[in-house]
Amino acid sequence: MNFLNTLSSWWQWAILAAIPPAIVLLYFLKLKRKPVEVPSTYLWRKSIEDLHVNTIWQRLRRNLLLFLQLLVLLVAILAVLRPSWKGEQLIGQRFIFLVDNSASMQATDVVPSRLEEAKRLAIELIDKMKAGDVGMVVSFCDAARVEQAFTFDRWRLRRAVEEIRPTRRSTSLAEALKVAAGLANPGRTSQDVTDYQVAEALPADVYIISDGKFGAVEGFSLGNLTPYFVAVGEVEARNVAVAAFDVARSETHPDLMQAFARLENYGPEPAAVSAALLLDGTEVGRAEDTIDPGGTTGVSFPLEAAKEGVLQLVVSEKDDFELDDVAHLILSPPRRSRVLLVTPGNEPLELALQTDSAMELAELEVAAPAFLGDEKYVKQAVAGTWDLVIYDRCRPKQMPRANTLMFGAVPPGGGWSAGEKVDLPQIIPVGAVHPLMQWIDLGDVLVVEATPLTPPPGADALIDSDAGALMAMAPREGYEDAVLGFVLIGDAPGGDGKSEQYVGTNWMTRQSFPVFVYNLFSYLGGAAGRSGVEPVLPGESFTLEHLAPGAKVTIESPGGSTTTGRAGEAGTFTFSDTDELGVYQVGVGGKPAGQFAVNLFHPRESDVPLRKNPRTELPSIRIGYVEVEGQRRWEPARREIWRELLLVGLLVLGVEWYIYNRRVAM
């Protein structure tokens, strides 16, 4: 501690030094008392004697005011001396504290956790603010949240920091910077030249307190913002993560299921891991392996009798980040798609749809076009009975609540239209990456005649030709319609007035056709992923489909909190509060209707060790073209307490005044 002499000349000191003796002197001078004549002092003397029984206390009490006055003076002298010690302070006037609360901030390489350390550092920074500085607190993960708007009140800033809660989400610094830039770099509110409602640009210092587990922020101009990076975390942090976890049919034994996972070691040392697979809490498999630093290993487990349940993969390696050590997967019972084929008669198609492997995926129902006029069809179509309806050379009056495939006809409405017939169009396959067309080679396919399609905007052309699209796919209210502009088997008027069938293409005889049927059932029939429900990432929304419109949906989180809502008109319900990791229970109409799992499959969040800039050996982040290096030391400054001392002096003065007013007996 050192002192700063604020009194410049000796006589000022002399005056100050003379005050305490003066107070003591004044104290010993007799108090001028008002004389009052009374009948007798007899009773008064007796009363005073009673009060004087505790003489020591009385004497103390008599001198209490003197002591307090001397104390006030002492404090004042101390304040004038301006005691101080070496500290740090933040240079600037406006500060924005961005505190990362993404999943990786829950790593425990810094005790108790990175987030707690970040909060501590943020509070330290707030304490370094000078009087009159304003600060703002923003927490950010994949979205930014203003915890406390700009304020002078450091207590509120500290409280806002303390109230930041961890999340399991990924990180996006860009979001947080946008919030910060909203103030520092205001843009024009519109292009209107008469609009002068543009806020004044206020420069601000942004303190990013994070572990830097986010990508470089591209295309962001800092403008008036001056960034500082306060790195939290250790370079030596260890972590083995479940990077992927899935279930699929075994390639060698199609009747068997197989769970496989990918484990990654992000730590600096080789890790001997043991992964246990649990089905509804019972261990059904275990794998052990050693993973090199930065390496990956795959583990697989055969699942013989497993049909449904919750699969849990637990990595028993003790590391600094626990959130990614467990992954969940929902095994739902295999269900065959329900497919309706409406055709006046199409033997090759029926044959292709009824092969053994096709029958494994779907349950086929065949009907004549007359069925479309039936009331039963209308009811079933509205109720969503089928997953896929295939219309061969016919079309319904109204599209069903199902995915559809149409041969030689276009859906009513929706912007579809078919052109004039063309002969032998030249096929150009364009949709090879689409799930419906994958692994399909159309090189040897000929189409005799076709009606090129004009699909609605937003549609994907899957087979193109020199005359126009021959196959296209367009979304419709949560469903998809695929339309082929040619027929497999066509009807042509014959010579005797009867219609004769003709072959419209040779596709049915090509190897790619059964693959197409498989894709059809897998994709449009919804048979894909039947073995396991697709996992959801934290913060992602999860959509439940094929619900009765208005049905009551209840979702219970792993933590036990319940969300209730109603399905929309399209029979879907979207749930976005997926911040917790684990298994969510879904109930529809009060009955259990399945589960889904939320897993932290995020390589950037799992990659917990702090990365350093190899050039400077300092942790750094990149914002636009600016490289911001980690910083822990701030501007040295005198930390003074003369304000606090004066406050104490005032307080003592108040106490003295109170005691004086109590008029304690002499």
Partner 1 sequence: MSNATKTPSALLSPELLAKLERMELVSRKIFRGRMKGERRSPRKGQSVEFADFRNYVPGDDLRFVDWNTFARLEKLFLKLFLEEEDLHFYALVDASDSMDFGEPTKLRWAKQLAAALGFIGLVRGDRVKIETVGQPARVGSPAFRGRRSLWRMLDHIEAIQPGEPTMLSQGIKNFCLRNAGKGIVVLVTDLMDKGGYEAGLKYLLSQDMDVYVVHVLSAEEIEPDLTGDLRLVDCEDGDEAEVTVSGPLMRRYKETLAAFVDAARDFCTRRGMMYLMARNSLSVEDVMTGYLRTRGLVR
One-character DSSP codes across 578-617: --S-EEEEEEETTEEEEEEEE----HHHH--SPPEETTTT
Taking the least distance from each CB to partner 1, the nearer of 383 and 666 is 666
For residues 390 and 407, is the Cβ–Cβ distance under 8 A? Answer: yes
Taking the least distance from each CB to partner 1, the nearer of 62 and 632 is 62
Nearest Cα neighbor of 311 from 293, 285, 289, 337 is 285
Taking the least distance from each CB to partner 1, the nearer of 109 and 656 is 656
Nearest Cα neighbor of 209 from 101, 108, 94, 133 is 101
Taking the least distance from each CB to partner 1, the nearer of 31 and 131 is 31
Taking the least distance from each CB to partner 1, the nearer of 58 and 84 is 58
Taking the least distance from each CB to partner 1, the nearer of 35 and 132 is 35
Q: How far is the CB of 30 from partner 1 (least distance, A)?
A: 9
Q: How far is the CB of 645 from partner 1 (least distance, A)?
A: 32
Per CB under 8 A, which region of 46-54, 154-162, 331-339, 413-421 contacts partner 1? 46-54
Binding partner 1 (rule: CB under 8 A), the pick from 2, 5, 12, 41 is 41
Neighbours of 489 (CB within 10 A): 21
Taking the least distance from each CB to partner 1, the nearer of 40 and 191 is 40
Report in angstroms the alpha-carbon separations of 209 from 88, 157, 220, 613: 18, 15, 19, 17
Q: Pattern 568-587, binding to partner 1, x per CB under 8 A?
A: --------------------
Residue 42 contacts partner 1 per CB under 8 A: yes
Taking the least distance from each CB to partner 1, the nearer of 47 and 563 is 47
Per CB under 8 A, which region of 41-49, 203-211, 455-463, 483-491 contacts partner 1? 41-49
327 vs 263: CA distance, rounded Å: 11
Q: How far is the CB of 33 from partner 1 (least distance, A)?
A: 4
Taking the least distance from each CB to partner 1, the nearer of 37 and 255 is 37
β-partners of residue 148 are: 137
Residue 664 contacts partner 1 per CB under 8 A: yes
Residue 51 contacts partner 1 per CB under 8 A: yes
424 vs 455: CA distance, rounded Å: 21
Nearest Cα neighbor of 90 from 231, 232, 226 is 226
Report in angstroms the alpha-carbon separations of 45 from 52, 318, 616: 10, 82, 86
Q: How far is the CB of 652 from partner 1 (least distance, A)?
A: 21
Per CB under 8 A, which region of 40-48, 117-125, 333-341, 364-372 contacts partner 1? 40-48
Nearest Cα neighbor of 141 from 162, 157, 164, 117 is 164
**Which 10-39 positions form the footprint of partner 1 (CB under 8 A)?**
31-39
Per CB under 8 A, which region of 45-53, 99-107, 115-123, 321-329 contacts partner 1? 45-53
Q: How far is the CB of 653 from partner 1 (least distance, A)?
A: 20
Binding partner 1 (rule: CB under 8 A), the pick from 40, 194, 252, 282 is 40
Binding partner 1 (rule: CB under 8 A), the pick from 48, 383, 428, 492 is 48
CA angle 638, 644, 648 (to 5 degrees): 150
510 vs 445: CA distance, rounded Å: 7
Write out the two tokens for 300: 């697989």
568-572 long-range contacts (CB < 8 A, ≥24 apart) are 570/477, 570/478, 571/384, 571/401, 571/478, 571/545, 571/546, 571/547, 572/478, 572/543, 572/544, 572/545, 572/547
The amino acid sitting at 624 is: G
**Which 124-163 positions form the footprint of partner 1 (CB under 8 A)?**
none
C-alpha R_g of the chain: 39
**Number of shown-chain residues binding partner 1 (CB under 8 A):** 25
Rounded to the nearest 5°, which phi and psi values hold at 344? -75, -5
Per CB under 8 A, which region of 47-55, 225-233, 247-255, 610-618 contacts partner 1? 47-55
Taking the least distance from each CB to partner 1, the nearer of 4 and 665 is 665
300 vs 598: CA distance, rounded Å: 21
118 vs 99: CA distance, rounded Å: 7
Residue 509 contacts partner 1 per CB under 8 A: no
Rounded to the nearest 5°, which phi and psi values hold at 333? -65, 140
**Which 76-115 positions form the footprint of partner 1 (CB under 8 A)?**
none
Residue 663 contacts partner 1 per CB under 8 A: yes
Q: How far is the CB of 54 from partner 1 (least distance, A)?
A: 12
Q: How far is the CB of 79 from partner 1 (least distance, A)?
A: 32
Q: How far is the CB of 656 from partner 1 (least distance, A)?
A: 15
Q: How far is the CB of 654 from partner 1 (least distance, A)?
A: 19
Binding partner 1 (rule: CB under 8 A), the pick from 2, 24, 25, 44 is 44
For residues 83 and 70, is the Cβ–Cβ distance under 8 A? Answer: no
Taking the least distance from each CB to partner 1, the nearer of 45 and 643 is 45
Q: How far is the CB of 28 from partner 1 (least distance, A)?
A: 15
Write out the two tokens for 36: 């009052």
For residues 482 and 402, is the Cβ–Cβ distance under 8 A? Answer: no
Taking the least distance from each CB to partner 1, the nearer of 42 and 155 is 42
375 vs 363: CA distance, rounded Å: 22
For residues 170 and 137, is the Cβ–Cβ distance under 8 A? Answer: no
Q: How far is the CB of 659 from partner 1 (least distance, A)?
A: 11
Taking the least distance from each CB to partner 1, the nearer of 33 and 498 is 33
Taking the least distance from each CB to partner 1, the nearer of 65 and 74 is 65
Peptide bond into 112 cis (omega under 30): yes
Where along the sequence are the contacts to partner 1 (CB under 8 A)?
31-48, 50-51, 662-666
